[in-house]
Structure 1
Protein backbone atom coordinates (compact mmCIF):
# COMPACT_ATOMS: atom_id res chain seq x y z
CA UNK A 1 0.00 0.00 0.00
CA UNK A 2 1.30 3.45 -0.91
CA UNK A 3 2.69 5.51 1.92
CA UNK A 4 0.33 8.20 3.19
CA UNK A 5 2.47 9.62 5.96
CA UNK A 6 6.00 8.86 7.02
CA UNK A 7 7.94 9.63 10.18
CA UNK A 8 10.43 12.48 10.15
CA UNK A 9 13.79 12.34 11.88
CA UNK A 10 12.09 13.78 14.96
CA UNK A 11 9.34 11.18 15.00
CA UNK A 12 6.76 13.42 13.38
CA UNK A 13 4.63 12.36 10.44
CA UNK A 14 4.08 14.38 7.28
CA UNK A 15 1.22 14.23 4.78
CA UNK A 16 2.33 12.71 1.50
CA UNK A 17 2.27 16.04 -0.34
CA UNK A 18 4.48 17.68 2.29
CA UNK A 19 6.88 14.76 2.25
CA UNK A 20 7.12 14.98 -1.53
CA UNK A 21 7.88 18.70 -1.31
CA UNK A 22 10.55 18.00 1.30
CA UNK A 23 12.17 15.36 -0.91
CA UNK A 24 12.12 17.65 -3.94
CA UNK A 25 13.76 20.42 -1.94
CA UNK A 26 16.48 18.07 -0.75
CA UNK A 27 16.99 16.72 -4.27
CA UNK A 28 17.30 20.23 -5.69
CA UNK A 29 20.19 20.97 -3.37
CA UNK A 30 22.00 17.76 -4.24
CA UNK A 31 21.48 18.09 -8.00
CA UNK A 32 22.54 21.75 -8.07
CA UNK A 33 25.67 21.04 -6.02
CA UNK A 34 26.74 17.82 -7.74
CA UNK A 35 24.99 17.65 -11.10
CA UNK A 36 22.77 14.76 -12.12
CA UNK A 37 25.43 12.17 -12.75
CA UNK A 38 27.30 12.64 -9.47
CA UNK A 39 24.15 12.92 -7.34
CA UNK A 40 23.21 9.81 -5.35
CA UNK A 41 19.82 8.80 -4.02
CA UNK A 42 21.54 8.03 -0.70
CA UNK A 43 22.65 11.66 -0.50
CA UNK A 44 19.15 12.93 -1.27
CA UNK A 45 17.54 10.66 1.32
CA UNK A 46 20.14 11.68 3.87
CA UNK A 47 19.59 15.38 3.25
CA UNK A 48 15.84 14.91 3.58
CA UNK A 49 16.28 12.91 6.78
CA UNK A 50 14.46 9.83 5.48
CA UNK A 51 15.41 6.29 4.59
CA UNK A 52 16.06 5.43 0.97
CA UNK A 53 12.96 3.15 0.81
CA UNK A 54 10.82 6.17 1.73
CA UNK A 55 12.42 8.15 -1.10
CA UNK A 56 11.66 5.32 -3.53
CA UNK A 57 8.04 5.24 -2.42
CA UNK A 58 7.67 8.72 -3.90
CA UNK A 59 10.06 8.48 -6.84
CA UNK A 60 10.90 5.18 -8.59
CA UNK A 61 14.37 6.37 -9.55
CA UNK A 62 16.78 9.27 -9.87
CA UNK A 63 15.59 10.23 -13.35
CA UNK A 64 11.95 10.44 -12.24
CA UNK A 65 12.99 12.65 -9.34
CA UNK A 66 14.99 14.89 -11.65
CA UNK A 67 12.10 15.14 -14.11
CA UNK A 68 9.75 16.10 -11.29
CA UNK A 69 12.07 18.97 -10.41
CA UNK A 70 12.27 20.05 -14.05
CA UNK A 71 8.47 20.04 -14.27
CA UNK A 72 8.12 22.02 -11.05
CA UNK A 73 10.53 24.77 -11.98
CA UNK A 74 9.70 25.08 -15.66
CA UNK A 75 6.13 25.51 -14.44
CA UNK A 76 7.25 28.36 -12.20
CA UNK A 77 9.03 30.10 -15.07
CA UNK A 78 6.07 29.63 -17.38
CA UNK A 79 3.75 31.15 -14.78
CA UNK A 80 6.00 34.19 -14.43
CA UNK A 81 5.84 34.66 -18.20
CA UNK A 82 2.06 34.16 -18.28
CA UNK A 83 1.67 36.79 -15.57
CA UNK A 84 3.61 39.23 -17.72
CA UNK A 85 1.35 38.55 -20.69
CA UNK A 86 -1.68 39.37 -18.58
CA UNK A 87 -0.63 43.02 -18.67
CA UNK A 88 -2.26 45.17 -21.34
CA UNK A 89 0.62 47.49 -22.25
CA UNK A 90 3.33 45.95 -24.41
CA UNK A 91 6.14 47.96 -22.85
CA UNK A 92 5.05 46.70 -19.42
CA UNK A 93 4.79 43.15 -20.78
CA UNK A 94 8.35 43.24 -22.10
CA UNK A 95 9.67 44.76 -18.89
CA UNK A 96 7.84 42.19 -16.77
CA UNK A 97 8.86 39.24 -18.95
CA UNK A 98 12.47 40.37 -18.73
CA UNK A 99 12.20 40.73 -14.97
CA UNK A 100 10.74 37.21 -14.81
CA UNK A 101 14.07 35.77 -15.93
CA UNK A 102 15.99 37.82 -13.38
CA UNK A 103 13.56 36.77 -10.65
CA UNK A 104 13.85 33.14 -11.70
CA UNK A 105 17.65 32.98 -11.67
CA UNK A 106 17.70 34.84 -8.37
CA UNK A 107 15.47 32.34 -6.56
CA UNK A 108 16.90 30.64 -3.50
CA UNK A 109 18.15 27.18 -4.36
CA UNK A 110 19.41 28.05 -7.86
CA UNK A 111 16.81 25.89 -9.59
CA UNK A 112 17.60 27.74 -12.81
CA UNK A 113 20.74 25.62 -13.13
CA UNK A 114 18.58 22.56 -13.79
CA UNK A 115 16.75 24.42 -16.56
CA UNK A 116 19.51 26.46 -18.21
CA UNK A 117 22.63 24.46 -17.32
CA UNK A 118 21.49 20.85 -17.03
CA UNK A 119 24.15 18.18 -17.40
CA UNK A 120 21.39 15.82 -18.54
CA UNK A 121 20.14 17.93 -21.44
CA UNK A 122 20.76 15.10 -23.93
CA UNK A 123 18.38 12.75 -22.12
CA UNK A 124 15.27 12.72 -24.39
CA UNK A 125 12.71 13.33 -21.64
CA UNK A 126 14.76 16.17 -20.17
CA UNK A 127 15.42 17.66 -23.61
CA UNK A 128 11.73 17.57 -24.45
CA UNK A 129 10.84 19.50 -21.32
CA UNK A 130 13.60 22.07 -21.78
CA UNK A 131 12.68 22.60 -25.44
CA UNK A 132 9.05 23.03 -24.45
CA UNK A 133 9.71 25.79 -21.91
CA UNK A 134 11.97 27.57 -24.43
CA UNK A 135 9.20 27.39 -27.03
CA UNK A 136 6.51 28.47 -24.58
CA UNK A 137 8.48 31.58 -23.61
CA UNK A 138 9.40 32.35 -27.23
CA UNK A 139 5.76 32.07 -28.28
CA UNK A 140 4.79 34.40 -25.45
CA UNK A 141 7.27 36.97 -26.75
CA UNK A 142 6.04 36.31 -30.31
CA UNK A 143 2.57 37.35 -29.21
CA UNK A 144 3.95 40.78 -28.32
CA UNK A 145 6.01 40.93 -31.51
CA UNK A 146 3.04 40.17 -33.74
CA UNK A 147 0.96 42.86 -32.04
CA UNK A 148 3.67 45.45 -32.78
CA UNK A 149 4.91 44.34 -36.20
CA UNK A 150 3.71 42.67 -39.38
CA UNK A 151 5.77 39.53 -38.89
CA UNK A 152 4.32 36.10 -39.61
CA UNK A 153 3.99 33.67 -36.70
CA UNK A 154 7.09 31.56 -37.38
CA UNK A 155 9.19 34.67 -37.98
CA UNK A 156 7.93 36.16 -34.72
CA UNK A 157 8.73 32.95 -32.83
CA UNK A 158 12.28 33.03 -34.24
CA UNK A 159 12.73 36.58 -32.98
CA UNK A 160 11.09 35.54 -29.71
CA UNK A 161 13.71 32.82 -29.28
CA UNK A 162 16.42 35.45 -29.68
CA UNK A 163 14.79 37.84 -27.23
CA UNK A 164 14.18 35.28 -24.47
CA UNK A 165 17.72 33.99 -25.00
CA UNK A 166 18.95 37.52 -24.43
CA UNK A 167 16.88 37.83 -21.25
CA UNK A 168 18.08 34.46 -19.95
CA UNK A 169 21.79 34.97 -20.61
CA UNK A 170 21.69 38.54 -19.31
CA UNK A 171 20.05 37.35 -16.09
CA UNK A 172 22.62 34.62 -15.59
CA UNK A 173 25.45 37.08 -16.22
CA UNK A 174 23.93 39.56 -13.75
CA UNK A 175 23.74 36.87 -11.07
CA UNK A 176 27.54 36.57 -11.06
CA UNK A 177 28.01 40.36 -11.16
CA UNK A 178 25.24 41.61 -8.88
CA UNK A 179 27.81 43.21 -6.61
CA UNK A 180 28.65 45.67 -9.39
CA UNK A 181 25.36 45.89 -11.35
CA UNK A 182 22.07 46.21 -9.50
CA UNK A 183 19.13 44.05 -10.49
CA UNK A 184 17.04 47.11 -11.35
CA UNK A 185 19.73 48.43 -13.67
CA UNK A 186 20.27 45.06 -15.31
CA UNK A 187 16.54 44.57 -15.93
CA UNK A 188 16.13 48.09 -17.27
CA UNK A 189 19.04 47.80 -19.71
CA UNK A 190 18.03 44.33 -20.94
CA UNK A 191 14.36 45.29 -21.42
CA UNK A 192 15.34 48.46 -23.25
CA UNK A 193 17.57 46.48 -25.61
CA UNK A 194 14.74 44.06 -26.36
CA UNK A 195 12.26 46.89 -26.96
CA UNK A 196 14.64 48.65 -29.30
CA UNK A 197 15.06 45.41 -31.19
CA UNK A 198 11.46 45.79 -32.30
CA UNK A 199 12.54 48.85 -34.26
CA UNK A 200 14.15 46.59 -36.87
CA UNK A 201 10.73 45.49 -38.11
CA UNK A 202 7.84 47.35 -39.76
CA UNK A 203 4.73 47.98 -37.75
CA UNK A 204 2.31 47.32 -40.62
CA UNK A 205 2.68 45.62 -43.99
CA UNK A 206 5.70 43.81 -45.33
CA UNK A 207 8.46 45.45 -47.30
CA UNK A 208 8.76 42.46 -49.62
CA UNK A 209 5.05 42.81 -50.44
CA UNK A 210 5.52 46.33 -51.72
CA UNK A 211 4.39 48.26 -48.62
CA UNK A 212 5.83 51.73 -48.35
CA UNK A 213 6.35 52.00 -44.60
CA UNK A 214 9.99 51.53 -43.70
CA UNK A 215 11.00 49.21 -40.86
CA UNK A 216 11.37 50.69 -37.46
CA UNK A 217 9.98 54.19 -37.21
CA UNK A 218 6.60 53.52 -35.63
CA UNK A 219 7.73 50.39 -33.81
CA UNK A 220 10.64 52.31 -32.34
CA UNK A 221 8.32 54.98 -31.05
CA UNK A 222 5.71 52.55 -29.68
CA UNK A 223 7.96 49.98 -28.03
CA UNK A 224 11.58 50.99 -27.76
CA UNK A 225 11.60 54.78 -27.47
CA UNK A 226 13.17 55.03 -24.03
CA UNK A 227 15.80 53.16 -22.12
CA UNK A 228 13.89 53.16 -18.87
Structure 2
Protein backbone atom coordinates (compact mmCIF):
# COMPACT_ATOMS: atom_id res chain seq x y z
CA UNK A 1 0.00 0.00 0.00
CA UNK A 2 1.40 3.47 -0.83
CA UNK A 3 2.64 5.44 2.20
CA UNK A 4 -0.09 8.12 2.17
CA UNK A 5 -2.81 5.54 1.71
CA UNK A 6 -1.40 3.52 4.63
CA UNK A 7 -1.26 6.65 6.78
CA UNK A 8 -4.90 7.42 6.02
CA UNK A 9 -5.84 3.83 6.88
CA UNK A 10 -3.99 4.11 10.19
CA UNK A 11 -5.66 7.43 11.02
CA UNK A 12 -9.11 6.03 10.24
CA UNK A 13 -8.38 2.96 12.35
CA UNK A 14 -7.12 5.17 15.18
CA UNK A 15 -10.32 7.24 14.99
CA UNK A 16 -12.37 4.06 15.25
CA UNK A 17 -10.37 2.95 18.30
CA UNK A 18 -10.94 6.28 20.03
CA UNK A 19 -14.64 6.19 19.14
CA UNK A 20 -15.07 2.65 20.45
CA UNK A 21 -12.64 2.45 23.36
CA UNK A 22 -11.46 5.99 24.18
CA UNK A 23 -8.02 7.53 23.96
CA UNK A 24 -6.59 5.42 26.75
CA UNK A 25 -6.83 2.37 24.48
CA UNK A 26 -4.99 4.12 21.65
CA UNK A 27 -1.39 2.93 21.57
CA UNK A 28 0.85 2.40 18.59
CA UNK A 29 0.92 -1.33 19.32
CA UNK A 30 -2.87 -1.61 19.54
CA UNK A 31 -3.25 0.49 16.40
CA UNK A 32 -0.88 -1.87 14.55
CA UNK A 33 -2.88 -4.87 15.73
CA UNK A 34 -6.22 -3.35 14.72
CA UNK A 35 -4.92 -2.15 11.35
CA UNK A 36 -3.31 -5.49 10.55
CA UNK A 37 0.21 -4.10 10.24
CA UNK A 38 3.42 -4.56 12.17
CA UNK A 39 4.34 -2.25 15.05
CA UNK A 40 7.30 -0.73 13.20
CA UNK A 41 4.91 0.60 10.56
CA UNK A 42 2.94 2.59 13.14
CA UNK A 43 6.17 3.84 14.74
CA UNK A 44 7.50 4.83 11.31
CA UNK A 45 4.36 6.91 10.63
CA UNK A 46 3.87 8.54 14.03
CA UNK A 47 6.96 8.00 16.19
CA UNK A 48 5.17 8.24 19.51
CA UNK A 49 1.67 8.10 20.94
CA UNK A 50 1.70 11.90 21.13
CA UNK A 51 2.74 11.96 17.47
CA UNK A 52 -0.25 9.77 16.65
CA UNK A 53 -2.63 11.99 18.63
CA UNK A 54 -1.26 15.09 16.93
CA UNK A 55 -1.63 13.44 13.51
CA UNK A 56 -5.25 12.55 14.34
CA UNK A 57 -5.99 16.08 15.50
CA UNK A 58 -4.31 17.51 12.42
CA UNK A 59 -6.33 15.11 10.22
CA UNK A 60 -9.59 16.57 11.58
CA UNK A 61 -8.20 20.10 11.39
CA UNK A 62 -7.02 19.72 7.79
CA UNK A 63 -10.52 18.67 6.74
CA UNK A 64 -11.96 21.79 8.36
CA UNK A 65 -9.43 24.09 6.72
CA UNK A 66 -9.93 22.54 3.29
CA UNK A 67 -13.71 22.80 3.58
CA UNK A 68 -13.42 26.44 4.64
CA UNK A 69 -11.04 27.32 1.81
CA UNK A 70 -13.24 25.70 -0.80
CA UNK A 71 -16.39 27.38 0.52
CA UNK A 72 -14.60 30.74 0.68
CA UNK A 73 -13.46 30.43 -2.93
CA UNK A 74 -16.93 29.52 -4.15
CA UNK A 75 -19.29 31.48 -1.94
CA UNK A 76 -17.66 34.33 -0.01
CA UNK A 77 -18.91 37.51 -1.65
CA UNK A 78 -19.36 39.64 1.49
CA UNK A 79 -17.69 40.04 4.86
CA UNK A 80 -20.73 38.53 6.59
CA UNK A 81 -20.64 35.63 4.15
CA UNK A 82 -16.96 34.96 4.81
CA UNK A 83 -17.50 35.04 8.57
CA UNK A 84 -20.46 32.68 8.25
CA UNK A 85 -18.40 30.26 6.16
CA UNK A 86 -15.52 30.24 8.64
CA UNK A 87 -17.90 29.68 11.55
CA UNK A 88 -19.82 26.93 9.77
CA UNK A 89 -16.60 25.15 8.77
CA UNK A 90 -15.52 25.02 12.41
CA UNK A 91 -18.87 23.77 13.68
CA UNK A 92 -19.17 21.22 10.86
CA UNK A 93 -15.71 19.87 11.63
CA UNK A 94 -16.46 19.42 15.32
CA UNK A 95 -19.79 17.77 14.58
CA UNK A 96 -18.39 15.44 11.93
CA UNK A 97 -15.42 14.50 14.12
CA UNK A 98 -17.75 13.58 16.95
CA UNK A 99 -16.84 13.26 20.61
CA UNK A 100 -13.48 11.68 19.83
CA UNK A 101 -12.18 15.10 18.71
CA UNK A 102 -12.56 16.42 22.25
CA UNK A 103 -11.08 13.25 23.70
CA UNK A 104 -8.05 13.57 21.44
CA UNK A 105 -7.58 17.22 22.44
CA UNK A 106 -7.85 16.28 26.11
CA UNK A 107 -5.32 13.47 25.74
CA UNK A 108 -2.95 15.84 23.96
CA UNK A 109 -3.22 18.47 26.67
CA UNK A 110 -0.99 16.32 28.87
CA UNK A 111 1.86 16.20 26.35
CA UNK A 112 4.87 18.47 25.98
CA UNK A 113 4.32 18.64 22.23
CA UNK A 114 0.88 20.21 22.57
CA UNK A 115 1.95 23.79 23.31
CA UNK A 116 3.98 24.07 20.13
CA UNK A 117 1.28 22.26 18.16
CA UNK A 118 -1.46 24.60 19.44
CA UNK A 119 0.60 27.61 18.47
CA UNK A 120 1.09 26.19 14.99
CA UNK A 121 -2.67 25.69 14.68
CA UNK A 122 -3.38 29.23 15.91
CA UNK A 123 -0.91 30.68 13.44
CA UNK A 124 -2.56 28.74 10.63
CA UNK A 125 -6.02 29.94 11.61
CA UNK A 126 -4.88 33.54 11.91
CA UNK A 127 -3.51 33.34 8.38
CA UNK A 128 -6.64 31.61 7.03
CA UNK A 129 -8.92 34.19 8.63
CA UNK A 130 -6.69 37.08 7.59
CA UNK A 131 -6.72 35.91 3.97
CA UNK A 132 -10.47 35.30 4.00
CA UNK A 133 -11.36 38.63 5.57
CA UNK A 134 -8.75 40.85 3.90
CA UNK A 135 -10.81 40.76 0.71
CA UNK A 136 -13.42 42.84 2.53
CA UNK A 137 -11.49 44.72 5.24
CA UNK A 138 -8.11 46.46 5.24
CA UNK A 139 -5.90 44.21 7.35
CA UNK A 140 -2.54 45.88 6.90
CA UNK A 141 -0.28 46.89 9.73
CA UNK A 142 0.42 45.29 13.11
CA UNK A 143 -3.28 45.14 14.03
CA UNK A 144 -3.92 42.70 11.19
CA UNK A 145 -2.34 39.84 13.11
CA UNK A 146 -4.56 40.49 16.14
Task: Indicate which of 114, 122, 139 corresponds to 1:126.
Answer: 114
Match of 1:22 in 2: 9
TM-score by length of 2: 0.69
8 Å Cα contact 2:29-2:39 kept in structure 1: yes
Structure 1 segments of 4+ aligned residues over 6 angstroms from their partners: 149-152
Q: Equivalences for 1:44-193 in 2 at 5 Å?
A: 44-86=31-73, 87-107=76-96, 110=99, 112-113=101-102, 117-142=105-130, 144=133, 147-148=136-137, 153-154=142-143, 158=146
Identify, as 1 or 2, the structure richer in helix: 2
SS at match of 1:79: helix
TM-score by length of 1: 0.48
8 Å Cα contact 1:141-1:157 kept in structure 2: no
**Gap runs ≥5 in structure 1:** 1-13, 159-228
**Gap runs ≥5 in structure 2:** none
Aligned length: 142
The structural deviation recorded for 1:139 is 4.6
The structural deviation recorded for 1:118 is 2.7
Q: Is the alpha carbon distance of 1:90 and 1:45 closer, same or farther for their aligned partners in structure 2, counting shifts above 3 Å? A: same
How far apart, in 2, do the equivalents of 1:92 and 1:134 lie? 22
How far apart, in 1, do the equivalents of 2:63 and 2:100 lie? 10
Match of 1:182 in 2: none
Q: Deviations over 1:85-143 (max 9, x none)?
A: 4323212111111110121012256563267x332225342222223323432454456
8 Å Cα contact 1:41-1:62 kept in structure 2: yes
Q: Deviations over 1:54-79 (max 9, x none)?
A: 43343333222223223333222222
RMSD: 3.3
| Bigger Rg, which one | 1
